[in-house]
Amino acid sequence: MHGRPRNPSKPEDEEASAAKASKLRALQSQFLHNHHSKLYDKGALELSAKLLEINPEFYTAWNYRKLAVEHCLSQPGSDPESILNEELRAVEGALRQNFKSYGAWYHRKWVLSKGHSSVDHEMRLLDKFQKADPRNFHAWNYRRFVAALKNISEEDELKYTTDMIERNFSNYSAWHNRSILLSNLLKRKAEVFPKEKILSEEYELVHQAIFTDPDDQSGWFYHLWLLEQTVTKDAPWLISCWPASGSELIISDSKSASSCTASPLSSYFSDGRVEMPVILYFNQAIKGVNTSTVTVRSVFAESKDLVWRPLSLSNFGSAQAWVAFLKFSEVKIDYSMSYEVEVSLGDSSGIVSLNGCPLTHAFQSKFMVRFQQPDSRNTDGQNIGSISWEDSNFQNYEGGPEQCNIIPPCIQLKMAKDHEPIASKWQVDILMNEIELFRELLSAADCKIGKLTLARLLTALDTLMLYNDTSNSCQMRHTEEILALYTDLMKLDPSHSQYYREEHSLTFLRQVSCSKENLLRYCWLYRNSALSDSRNLVCLRLNNLSLARVGSIENLLWVQMLDLSHNELRSIEGLEAMQLLSCLNLSNNKIKSFTALDPLRHLKSLKVLNISQNEIGKHSVDTTRYLCSSPLSHTEASDWRRSGLCSTDDAQLSKYWEAFLVFRDLTLVQLGITGNKVVNEDFRSFLLKILPTLERLDDTNL
C-alpha cells in the first residue's frame, strides 16, 4: 500500500504473515476455480466478498460479482433490492480496506446504474468519506456521477463546494469542482448567470483564500482560471495578414543566387513560376479556411483556384496561420501598371475555432502589386556572393517609417472598417482592480506566485488595451514592470527559470514589434559589396538578446531576412507562419535536435540557413520528438520516404530520418551546420544527397 513505511520484520510478525499468506493463497485459488466454473451460490459469493475485503485490487473478483449479480437477477423470483444491497455492502467492506480502490468505486457506480439506492444514502456515504479525506478524488468523482445520475442541480453542488472551501481554503479539489460547475453554468445559463457578476463574486471569494495563506496554491490556480475566463474571447478573429492592407508591393523576378537580395517592398521566388503568398493570421487556431470562406479578387487567378493550407505542425486541418499562393504566370504582365488585389473573409460562415465558435467579424484587405522589369545583367545565375552574417555587412536602415512598407497589425486593425472595441469596460475594470490589489500584496510579502500573477495581469491588460487603442502609435504600457517581474522571478524561483526566461522574451518581443518606430530600431540593411546592383535586403536583427523564445509572429510576417543568432532558443515554434523568410540565421543557440526545426519545413522560400554552433546530436534524449510531424505521431500524410530519393542508402536514412523530414522539401542554396555534434563526413554526404540545390555548405563552395 502506498504511503506506508517499511519496517524490518520481527520473527513473530513473520510467522503471522506466513499464516495470513497461506490463507490468502487458498482464497485466491478457490476463487479462480469458482470463477472459471461459473459457480454463483451463496458460499462462492461470500468467498469472493471475503477476498475483496482483504484485497480489493483483485479486479477479477469484481468482474465475477457482476456476473453473479446478472445471473441472480435473471433467476425467477429474484429480489433485486436485496441482491443489489448485498453488492453495496461488499463495496463498503472493500472501501474500508482501501478507500482509494478503483475497482470498488466502479462497482458501486455499476450497481447504482442498475437502478438502486437513494440519493440520501449515497450523499451520506460521500459526506463521511469527504470529511475523512477532502482530497479523495474517487469520492469527488463519485459525487459528480451521483449528481449527474440523480439530476442534482449545479447550484446546489456549488453551495456544497462553498461549504468545503469555507471549511478549508486549501481544498484544491473543491476549487477544481467549482471551476467545473461554473464553466457549465456560465455556458448553459448565461442569462441567469451573467459572466460579469459571477466573476466579480468569485474574485472576492478567492481573494480571501489568497490573503489568508499566500503560499497555498489552490487559490492561486483558481485565480488564474478566473483571469482566463475574464479575458478570453471565444470567438476567433483575424489579427494580421500579409500583404498588409493598403500596401504597395513591388515584385522582381530573378533566377540568380542573389534572388534573396530584395528591397523591403518586394518579394519574389526563384522557382520559375512567379507566385506570392497571401497569409492570414488569427488569434487562435481555426478550421475552415477555404475558397468558399475566403475570396481573393485579382486579375491573376480565380479565387476558387487558390489552395489554402494551414501552417501547423500537426495534421488536423487547423492552424492559427493559413497561406495560399497567388500565381502570376497566367497573365501577361504590364510593367507600368499597378494591379489591385482584394482579400475578404467573414462574409460567409465556415471559419470556426476549435471549440466551434464561428468567426463573426468580416475583414477586407486591399493592396497593390507592381512588377519590376527583370534585369538582364543577372540572368546567368553566376554566384555573386554568399550571405555572410558578420556585423560589417549590416548598416542601419535609414529610411523613415513613412517610406517603409512595414505596417504592424495594430494599425492595420484600425484601418479595417469600424468595429466595436474588442475589450469591454468591465474586463478592463476587473483587471485594473486586481492589479492594484496585488501590487499592494506584493509590497508586503515577496511571493513568487503573486509576482507571476501580477505579471500575467499586466500582460493581459496591455493586450486588451492594444486592441482598443485608436491612436497611431501603439505602446505596451507596462512592459518595463513586466520585464522586471520576470527578472525577479528568475532569481526568486530558479526551478522555473526557463519558463520565466521565455515569458521575458515574449514580453520583450511584444514591445519591439508593436510599433513601427520600435521595429525600425532593429532593422538593418544588408549590403554585400560584391553585388553590382543597388538592391538591398532589409534584415531584422534580433541577435544577442538572450531570447529564449520567439513570439509576436503576427507582426513579423513581412520579414525576409532574420537574424536570431547568439540567443538561447530551444524551439522555433511560430516561425512556420513567416512565409517570406528566405535567409535565416539560428547559429549559436540551444537547438538540440532536428525535430525542433520542424517549423522550417513550411518555409518554401528559405534559401539560406545557418544552424551552426547548436547542440544537435549532443543529447540522447529528444524532448521535441512528438512536437513535430513524423511517423511517431502518426501525422505523416504521405509516404515519408518519397520513393526515388535516397533509394539506395537505407542505413543513412534510418540514422538521419529527423534531418530528412526537415530538409527534404526545402530548396536551400546555402547551409551552415558546423559546430553540431551530429556533423561528420557521413552526415555531410547525406545532406548533399537530399539537398541537390545546395551551392555552399559551411565554408565550401560546391
Partner 1 sequence: MVLYLSYSFSHLALLGYKTRVIGKMMELVSEKHVKYILSVEKYFCLRRRIVFESLVMEHLRMNGAYWGLTTLDLLGKLQVVNQDEVISWIMECQHESGGFGGNVGHDPHVLYTLSAVQVLALFDKLDLLDIDKNEDGSFSGDIWGEVDTRFSCIAICCLSLLRRLDKIDVENAVNYIVSCKNLDGGFGCTPGGESHAGQIFCCVGALAIMGSLHHVDKDLLGWWLCERQVKSGGLNGRPEKLPDVRYLSATHGLSLLQYPGVKAIDPAHALPVDVVNRILIGLYQKGISPRYRPTCEADLSFPNLR
Q: Map the footprint of partner 1 across residues 8-27, applying CB under 8 A.
A: 17-18, 20-22, 24-25
By beta-carbon proximity to partner 1, the closer residue of 394 and 640 is 640
Binding residues for partner 1 restricted to 322-361, rule: CB under 8 A? 325, 354
d(CA 660, CA 658): 5
Q: Which residues in the 65-84 window bind partner 1 by CB under 8 A? A: 66
Helical segments of 55-79, H only: 59-74
Q: Residue 304 interacts with partner 1 (CB under 8 A)? A: no
CB of 322 to partner 1, least distance (A): 9
Per CB under 8 A, 625 contacts partner 1? yes
Q: Which residues contact 35 (CB under 8 A, 6 or more apart)?
A: 60, 61, 64
- Closest distance of CB 627 from partner 1, Å: 6
- For every residue of 129-184, DSSP letters joined together read HHHH-TT-HHHHHHHHHHHHHTT--HHHHHHHHHHHHHH-TT-HHHHHHHHHHHHH
463 is an interface residue for partner 1 by CB under 8 A: no
Q: Does 129 bind partner 1 (CB under 8 A)?
A: no
Residues touching partner 1, count (CB under 8 A) = 91
627 lies in the binding site for partner 1 (CB under 8 A):
yes
- Using DSSP's 3-state secondary structure scheme, residue 585 falls into strand
**Among 193, 221, 394, 426, contact with partner 1 (rule: CB under 8 A):** 221
85/314 with CB nearer partner 1: 314
Angstrom distance (rounded) from CA 577 to CA 701? 30
Residues 32-71, interacting with partner 1 (CB under 8 A): 32, 36, 54-55, 57-60, 62-63, 66
Torsion of CA 135, 138, 144, 150, to 10 degrees: -130
User: Least separation, in Å, of the C-beta of 149 and partner 1?
Assistant: 13
CA angle 319, 320, 323 (to 5 degrees): 80
C-alpha torsion angle, residues 577, 583, 584, 585 (rounded to 10): -170
Q: Which stretch binds partner 1 (CB under 8 A): 189-197, 244-252, 302-310, 581-589?
A: 302-310
Residues whose CB is less than 8 angstroms from the CB of residue 128 and which lie 6 or more positions away in sequence, other chains included: none
Rule CB under 8 A: is residue 313 a binding residue for partner 1? yes
The verdict on 153 binding partner 1 (CB under 8 A) reads: no
The residue among 308 and 394 lying less far from partner 1, judged by its C-beta, is: 308
Rounded to 5°, the CA angle 247-325-289 comes to: 95
Alpha-carbon distances, residue 168 vs 14, 18, 137 (angstroms):
42, 44, 16
Tell me if 263 contacts partner 1 by CB under 8 A. no
Q: Report how far residue 433's alpha carbon sits from residue 430's, in angstroms, rounded to the nearest whole number.
A: 5
Among the candidate windows 218-226, 255-263, 681-689, 694-702, which touches partner 1 by CB under 8 A? Answer: 218-226
Asked if 143 contacts 192 with a C-beta cutoff of 8 angstroms, the reply is no
- The answer to whether 686 contacts partner 1 (rule: CB under 8 A) is no
State which of positions 182-201 bind partner 1 (CB under 8 A).
none
CB burial of residue 293 (10 Å; 0-12, 13-18, 19+) = middle
Q: Contacts with partner 1 in 524-583 (CB under 8 A)?
A: none
Site for partner 1 in 638-657 (CB under 8 A): 638-641, 643, 650, 653-654, 657
Among 50, 114, 172, 615, binds partner 1 (CB under 8 A): 172
Cell readout for 2 is 502506498
CB nearer to partner 1: pick between 530 and 621 = 621
Give the nearest distance from C-beta 475 to partner 1 in angstroms: 25
Comparison of 282 and 526: residue with beta carbon closer to partner 1: 282
